Structure 1
Amino acid sequence: MLVLDNEAFSLWAEDDERMRARITLAQEKGFVTITSAATIVETAQGGQAGQRLRFKRSKLSVIDVTSEVADLAARLLVATGLSGHDCAVDAIVVATAASASGAAKVASSDGTHIPKLCSVATELRDGPPVDWLRV
Structure 2
Amino acid sequence: MARRRLSHEGTLVLDSEGLSKLLADDEQVVALVAEARSRGMEVVISALTIIEAVHSRTSMSRLNWVLSGLRVIVVGDEEARSASKLLMNAGLHGHKYAIDAVVAEAALRQHRPVAVLTSDIDDIAKLCGDRVRLIAV
TM range (shorter): 0.7 to 0.9
Q: 2:81 & 2:33 partners in 1: Cα distance? A: 28
Shift of 1:23: 1.2
In structure 2, the partner of 1:125 is none
Q: 1:94 & 1:82 partners in 2: Cα distance? A: 13
Aligned-pair RMSD on alpha carbons?
1.7
The one-character-per-residue Cα deviations of 1:50-76 (angstroms, maximum 9, x if unpaired) are 432232112211110132321221111
Shift of 1:98: 0.6
In structure 2, the partner of 1:126 is none
In structure 1, the partner of 2:122 is 112
- 8 Å CA contact retained: 1:118, 1:131: no
The one-character-per-residue Cα deviations of 1:68-101 (angstroms, maximum 9, x if unpaired) are 3212211110111112321000010010011114
Q: 1:103 & 1:35 partners in 2: Cα distance? A: 16
Aligned pairs (5 A) from 1:34-53? 34-47=44-57, 49-53=59-63
Q: 1:87 & 1:56 partners in 2: Cα distance? A: 25
Q: How many pairs does the alignment contain?
A: 127
Identity of aligned residues (%): 37
Q: Write the letter of the residue equivalent to 1:133.
A: I
Q: 2:83 & 2:133 partners in 1: Cα distance? A: 16
Aligned pairs (5 A) from 1:1-135? 1-47=11-57, 49-119=59-129, 129-135=131-137
User: Which ranges in structure 1 are unaligned for 5 or more consecutive residues?
Assistant: 123-128
Q: 1:45 & 1:22 partners in 2: Cα distance? A: 24
Higher share in helix: 1
